[in-house]
Structure 1
Amino acid sequence: MKLETAKSLLLIILIGTSLILTFGMWNYRAEYEPLNDDESIDKADLGGEQKNANDVVKPNNVVFKINGEFYSYEDPEDSAELFEDIQTWEMTDLQNTDVEEKTADAEVEIIFPTGVPLSLFESILNTDRTLTNNMNFYVDRFYIQLQEEDQLLKVYFVSLDGDEVVEGTIHSTTNYEQLLSMFSNLKGEKYQENHLLTETARNIYIPDGEKTMQSFKYTFNMTRTADVRNIMFARPNLVSESKSAESIMYRTDDRQLNITGGGMKFINVAEWNKEPADKSVFQQSLENINEHAGFTDDYRLDSYTDDSITYRLYRLQYPVINNSYMDLSTIYQRWQSDQLSEYTRSLISLDTVANTSSIKLRDSDEIISSIQQNKNVADIQDVQIGYRLTVEKDVNGEDYALLEPDWYQRVNDSWSVVPEKNTGTQNVEGGS
């Protein structure tokens, strides 16, 4: 072969290779495509709905108390509907009153999962003025008493420490008669009698008898990791990335985001403003999560402190509990003044029901006996039926979410299955 012919052939090969590589670069799209413009970053969200205080601050129990007996609805959907009605009732004449035990023949006790500042109820109830300016006035329930003589309803908010009471009045005869009608039908099939536990950290009501419930197999959607990165970092093109078989880590000098096991954990160690924030942790978290459409399911306020907040997933009005490394049933945030310092949450959202089956739960007598034999009974904050969430694989290797009902107890803001009676051991499964 002549030298000139060889040179021409080599040149053709080099040009062809260059064209192939150029075409490949044009058509390649990385899974984590860097974003360089603010407009694209602003569009990143988790696909959830905008929520307000009414959507996330809800009671987990409504109890009717009459002549020393206690009742609740058989179906928690009915309790939810009643509370929605109560939220529209006009509450007036709000004032501080003397600290003393409030008793009545007929009373409704509306119980929330956690104590919150009394002022928060301004956002979820129909009040005629500010409830209180005392940020240390926390309540986890309020009471509505029927005043037969005046045909009206009295409302009482009692602080967690029992040192303060705020009362209000609902003057509507219609609202009074609505509650009175419910008390007249407590022996009906819509209601169930309850047993009161007083030796626990707070009064707890356990429905009598046994219950059969459905377990559910759900398909679910997973949030794109690129979307999470773009939300948590203002300039994602400057973020370093490291991968392993099961997780992805994003870093800058002062921020770190770990995505693994269907959840995420974000930490911000930047210097923060030492001045007190203008807004409460609840307001800050609600606005922040709404900014990226982070309420991807029915999440409700579950715990509250001066600098942290947790929202829990609910399904069919029951709390969902998960015990994996990344808790797939909660959204947790910690704030330093006006800056988000920690954010942990599930990145899965339940989709459609693929299968169901029936499960017979332990009866109330067994649950009560198990709780009472617990040496730490005084530390139990709540007892609820909840759904255990686990992620499993089907025969085809496809992931699905399994929700199975069971009795749960809450100690130190952590949920665990109520142990079997007389086992002598505690089931440590749970979630914060």
Structure 2
Amino acid sequence: MSFEGAKNIILTTLVAASALLTWNIWTYQPEFKKIDQSEFIRDDSQKQELSEVIKPDRVLFHTQGKHFQTHDEGEIIKIQTEIAKWTLFNFKDASHLAGNKKFLSFVHADGNTEVIFPDQIPLNLYKSVLNFDDRKLPKVSFDRIIFKTEPGISEGKVYFVNYKQKKVYQSQVSTAHLKNFNNAFASRAEGFPEYISKEINPQRTLFLPKEAVQLSQVKYYINYLDIDENFKETLFTNPDKVVQDSVTRGKEYTDGSKLLSEYQDFSTIEFVNPAQKSYSNGAPVDLLQKSIDFVSNHGGWGDHYDEGRKTDGQQTIGFRYSAQSEDGQKVIFRLFKGGYPVFNEQGMSEIEQTWGDEEIYRFRRPYFSIAFAIETDYPYKVKLPSGQQILQQFTENRNIELQDLEDIRVGYKLSRDPLEPKLIVLEPSWYYLYGGTWTVLPINKPVGGKIGLE
């Protein structure tokens, strides 16, 4: 073979090899491992704004020796929005202004407006709803905001009061804000229902409606949440290893340690993580915030709005913050209907959480959401006794000491419709808080008045 022939063969081989290498580079597709992005993507579709979960449940006006109260949700949202516009500054402890002997007279003084929350709220959590100019705020809690709204206001002071601990904290605000509030709300307080006051002990005064209260019974159609999708997949670390079993009351899910139980008769679930039973006290701000986040990621809030009312924030029925126990690391969110709390002895109206050192220890809640209200041309109207009649019942009841009552208020009793399991019934009733437990008050028919269903 000549030299030129050998050179041509070598050159041809190199060109072919180069072409093959180029082709492999162009067409090479490595095998990538598919990543489950659900581990990294958080669903915020059920996330609620803090002001939607933590909100006042009543506003009390003291004017000219009388007391007027509203729990109308639309009105309270307007008041909450107005206060959020204020710039608050110079926050400090002012408990000396209301010593034990004059605490009640300070809080309920004539000319005061009380914005009352269901239970104590950490200031460092709720500050995101308000507008504080102070760079650092103390770690305190409050359950009502109080300020003067009478004409001729000369001092702009707003008080954050912890009613249980008898603590008062003072902040300053422009008097222009208080004057605007007086013009927009306090000046028309007499248009709200009038209330009577009853000092049941040196530490507490109750306010009850002066006249009988009339409300309609309400029925709602409900939708069931999928337990596997909403709870099993999110409450267990390895859902694929969870074993399901049918029991008399419903179903049970377990991974050998944690237990998720379904109670079909009440449409509720209970989750228990025994490894977290030993718990220590945590910061109230952390407890409440993580409880709100937990609900958002485990079944959601299930709020229902009447058509056309969601745009103005007027929620018809939904869960709100109701109570917390720092000692027991427990938080309760309760259904509220039009500003009234909803109660059920089997837990159908509550979301309850108890936290351990690191994770949730116990979680209870209903597994349904409100779909729509059942409209009727002739709704049942329930006429409840006046506040004075209710106080008289407690005076005659030897089993309960009036001075030990924590609260008395109108609410709704939730029950299942006996004929249609996907209907729930809300019946207006009187409730009282005694020993930390809400109990329905059996109504005695008073002399000279028809009380009950009409």
Q: TM-score range by the shorter chain?
A: 0.7 to 0.9
Whether 1:341 aligns to 2:361 is: yes
Q: Deviations over 1:277-322 (max 9, x none)?
A: 6762101111222234521222111111221100001111211111
Structure 1 Cα separation of the partners of residues 301 and 116 of structure 2: 23
Consecutive unaligned residues in structure 2, runs of 5 or more: 1-34, 99-105, 304-317, 447-454
Whether 1:249 aligns to 2:252 is: yes
What is aligned with 2:65?
Answer: 68
What TM-score, normalized by structure 2, do the two folds share?
0.75
Structure 1 Cα separation of the partners of residues 403 and 411 of structure 2: 21
Whether 1:410 aligns to 2:407 is: no
| Equivalent pairs, count | 379
Tell me the CA shift for residue 109 of structure 1: 1.0
What is aligned with 2:128?
Answer: 123
Cα separation, partners in 2 of 1:388 and 1:58, compared to 1, 3 Å: same
What is the SS of the residue equivalent to 1:65? Answer: strand
Larger % of helix: which? 2
Tell me the CA shift for residue 99 of structure 1: 1.4
Code of the residue aligned with 1:287 in structure 2: it is D
Larger % of strand: which? 1
What is the SS of the residue equivalent to 2:424? Answer: strand
- Alpha-carbon RMSD across the aligned residues, in angstroms, is 3.1
Whether 1:55 aligns to 2:58 is: no
> Is contact 1:262–1:346 with CA below 8 Å preserved after alignment?
yes
What is aligned with 1:380?
Answer: 405
Between structure 1 and structure 2, the one with the greater Rg is: 2
Tell me the CA shift for residue 53 of structure 1: 2.0
Structure 2 Cα separation of the partners of residues 186 and 291 of structure 1: 40
Tell me the CA shift for residue 338 of structure 1: 2.8
1:33-432 counterparts in 2 under 5 A?
Answer: 49-73=46-70, 75-101=72-98, 102=106, 105-129=110-134, 132-134=137-139, 137-146=140-149, 151-160=154-163, 162=165, 164-180=167-183, 182-187=185-190, 190-199=191-200, 202-227=204-229, 228-260=231-263, 261-270=266-275, 280-292=286-298, 294-297=300-303, 298-306=318-326, 307-324=329-346, 327-356=347-376, 357=379, 358-374=381-397, 375-394=400-419, 397-421=420-444
What is aligned with 1:11?
Answer: none
What is the SS of the residue equivalent to 2:52? Answer: helix
Structure 2 Cα separation of the partners of residues 402 and 274 of structure 1: 37
Tell me the CA shift for residue 161 of structure 1: 5.2
Cα separation, partners in 2 of 1:98 and 1:416, compared to 1, 3 Å: closer
What is the SS of the residue equivalent to 1:125? Answer: coil
What is the SS of the residue equivalent to 2:275? Answer: coil
Larger deviation: 153-162 or 403-412?
153-162
> Is contact 1:263–1:346 with CA below 8 Å preserved after alignment?
yes
Structure 1 Cα separation of the partners of residues 345 and 136 of structure 2: 38
What is aligned with 2:16?
Answer: none
Structure 2 Cα separation of the partners of residues 400 and 308 of structure 1: 30
> Is contact 1:119–1:130 with CA below 8 Å preserved after alignment?
no
Cα separation, partners in 2 of 1:274 and 1:243, compared to 1, 3 Å: closer
Structure 2 Cα separation of the partners of residues 186 and 343 of structure 1: 41
Code of the residue aligned with 2:200 in structure 1: it is E
Tell me the CA shift for residue 234 of structure 1: 2.2
What is the SS of the residue equivalent to 1:129? Answer: coil
> Is contact 1:272–1:339 with CA below 8 Å preserved after alignment?
no
Structure 1 Cα separation of the partners of residues 332 and 164 of structure 2: 22
Tell me the CA shift for residue 422 of structure 1: 9.1
Tell me the CA shift for residue 140 of structure 1: 1.9
Structure 2 Cα separation of the partners of residues 338 and 83 of structure 1: 34
Structure 2 Cα separation of the partners of residues 336 and 409 of structure 1: 30
Structure 2 Cα separation of the partners of residues 422 and 398 of structure 1: 31
- Percent same amino acid at aligned positions? 22
Tell me the CA shift for residue 167 of structure 1: 0.4
Consecutive unaligned residues in structure 1, runs of 5 or more: 1-36, 424-432
> Is contact 1:273–1:337 with CA below 8 Å preserved after alignment?
yes
Larger deviation: 220-229 or 153-162?
153-162
Q: Deviations over 1:136-178 (max 9, x none)?
A: x432222112476654531112334556421012205144233
Code of the residue aligned with 1:289 in structure 2: it is V
Cα separation, partners in 2 of 1:163 and 1:76, compared to 1, 3 Å: closer
> Is contact 1:151–1:173 with CA below 8 Å preserved after alignment?
no
Tell me the CA shift for residue 244 of structure 1: 2.5
Code of the residue aligned with 2:404 in structure 1: it is D
Code of the residue aligned with 1:311 in structure 2: it is F
Tell me the CA shift for residue 343 of structure 1: 0.5
What TM-score, normalized by structure 1, do the two folds share?
0.78
Cα separation, partners in 2 of 1:246 and 1:161, compared to 1, 3 Å: closer
What is the SS of the residue equivalent to 1:270? Answer: helix
Structure 1 Cα separation of the partners of residues 287 and 226 of structure 2: 27
> Is contact 1:48–1:295 with CA below 8 Å preserved after alignment?
no
Cα separation, partners in 2 of 1:360 and 1:211, compared to 1, 3 Å: same
Cα separation, partners in 2 of 1:216 and 1:204, compared to 1, 3 Å: same
Tell me the CA shift for residue 70 of structure 1: 0.9
Structure 2 Cα separation of the partners of residues 163 and 127 of structure 1: 23
> Is contact 1:197–1:203 with CA below 8 Å preserved after alignment?
yes
Structure 2 Cα separation of the partners of residues 258 and 232 of structure 1: 12
